[in-house]
Amino acid sequence: MNFNFVRYVIILIFISELLIFISELLIFIFRLFSIQPLVATETVAGRMTFECKVYPGENTQTIAPSG
């Protein structure tokens, strides 16, 4: 087997693993600071309501869909 091909595949795997690690790190940072612009919660009636969180720690405003 060609050694250049093996090295190319190893570099591709390394780059993909690096991208996965960066994305998981970003998800962890967002969860750490709880940056959630829209949080979907389900009510008792089965309708979906969205809580708009402008800043962490602010009061949440619940928007109920019409209809």
Q: What is the pTM of this model?
A: 0.43
* CA dihedral angle for residue 52, residue 43, residue 29, residue 33, rounded to 10 degrees: 50
Percent of the chain beyond pLDDT 90? 28
pLDDT value at position 29?
Answer: 81
Q: Residue 57 gets which letter from DSSP?
A: T
Checking if the pLDDT of 62 tops 90, the result is no
Tens-place pLDDT, residues 10-34: 999 999 999 999 999 988 887 777 6
pLDDT higher than threshold 60 for residue 9: yes
What 3-state DSSP class applies to 24? helix
13: tokens are: 């795997």
Q: What are the φ/ψ torsions at residue 13 (nearest 5 degrees)?
A: -65, -40
Average pLDDT, the chain: 72
Task: State the residue for tokens 């570099």.
Answer: 11
